[in-house]
Amino acid sequence: MITPSNKTHRILALDYTKGALVLFMVLYHWLNYFIATEGDFYRYLRFVTPSFIFISGFLISNVYLSKYDTRDLQLPKRLMLRGFKILGLFIFLNVATRFLISDSYNGRINFDPLSIRNLASIFGTGDIYFEGAGKTASFYILVPISYLLLISAGFSIVHRFYKYIFHVVCIACLLGIFILNLNGFKIGNLELLTIGLLGVVFGYVPIDKINNIVKYPYALVFAYICYLSTIAAWGVDYPVLIVGVCLSLMLLYFMGVKNVESGRLRQHIILLGKYSLFGYVAQIAILQLIFRILRYLNMESGVLGVSFIAAFVLTMFTVEAVDYMRAKSSAVDRFYQVVFA
């Protein structure tokens, strides 16, 4: 059992990593809204979305499986509740978006819970874009994350009898993706879910060993430069994406471990990591608001710098405000617990 200080240090470093991912997600979506929806520069940000599900899987094994006794059914119950809660949040946000926002930066949002085609693409193949028909859903990453939590709830029970169940399933999924790709098929949900399962597998590595790895930042930087050179030359296929996710998270974690308790900006990022789900939702709402205000004022082309800074500042300010209100109001805290915690 780790000491309280080590436990706190570990949580802060992981929170820093999650907070940094939210900021990268702000950058990713800001580029979508104000620059372009396509471009070669996006290959350098491809790691962002799958990194969220990877670190979700990492936390399942590194934190929760080590925290609960294997005979305790509270873990599968908690994972299942969390999975259904995130899936419900995804549905609620998209239904609300459909009624409140008719279109987005890249066209109309066509979330239709009564369309078999839409439901199959969102919850099955993970293809959320239809040619000429716009986007079928927003907040899409919540779907495979909910799948990961729900599947892990079942596997956590099997884990009592066979501790390598996540390893076996992860290898089977990787093999399935390889076979599908050879036959020209791509299932986005399966690919993201597999990255989450890979995160669970990596989460079995003791945190002390991970800390020892990140003691060699020059090796990490060199490996990351090799990764950037690879994607610059050949793009980002699935195996390269997995490598990029691992390297990016290791670099962010290194930054979180080093002097984690110093600096005001660092503390902001750590707080953002503690509210990563809320921050993810809030930054999309903030960007939508900025986008619509600037479009209404016909100022899209002249204030890119202002919109960029505003997106970051307002996201962090919103998280700070929620943290403050939770401390001051039990009603706000209960609401946050029900929806996001």
Q: How many CA atoms lie within 13 A of 253 on its CB side?
A: 24
Strand residues in the chain grouped as ranges (E): 103-104, 107-108, 129-130, 134-135
pLDDT in tens, 278-292: 999 999 889 888 888
pLDDT > 80? residue 310: yes
Q: In which band, very low, low, confident or very high, does the pLDDT at 215 lie, cut at 50, 70 and 90?
A: confident
Residues, the chain: 341
pLDDT > 80? residue 202: yes
CA angle 59, 77, 176 (to 5 degrees): 60
Q: Which of 96, 171, 178 is nearest to 139 (CA)?
A: 96
Q: Is 129 exposed, middle or buried (0-12, 13-18, 19+ CB in 10 A)?
A: middle
Q: Which of 227, 79, 97, 82 is nearest to 155 (CA)?
A: 79
What pLDDT sits at residue 192? 95
What pLDDT sits at residue 230? 93
What pLDDT sits at residue 289? 86
pTM: 0.88
pLDDT > 50? residue 3: no
Q: Which of 237, 227, 241 is nearest to 195 (CA)?
A: 241
Q: In which band, very low, low, confident or very high, does the pLDDT at 41 lie, cut at 50, 70 and 90?
A: confident
Tokens representing residue 62 in the block: 């590194």
Tell me what the mean pLDDT of segment 93-118 comes to: 67
DSSP 179-209: HHHHTT---HHHHHHHHHHHHHHHTTS-HHH
Residue 102 three-state SS: coil
Q: Which of 320, 321, 295 is nearest to 307 (CA)?
A: 295
Q: In which band, very low, low, confident or very high, does the pLDDT at 138 lie, cut at 50, 70 and 90?
A: confident
Q: Contact at 8 Å (CB) between 70 and 159?
A: yes
pLDDT > 80? residue 320: yes
Kindly report the average pLDDT of the chain as a whole number. 84
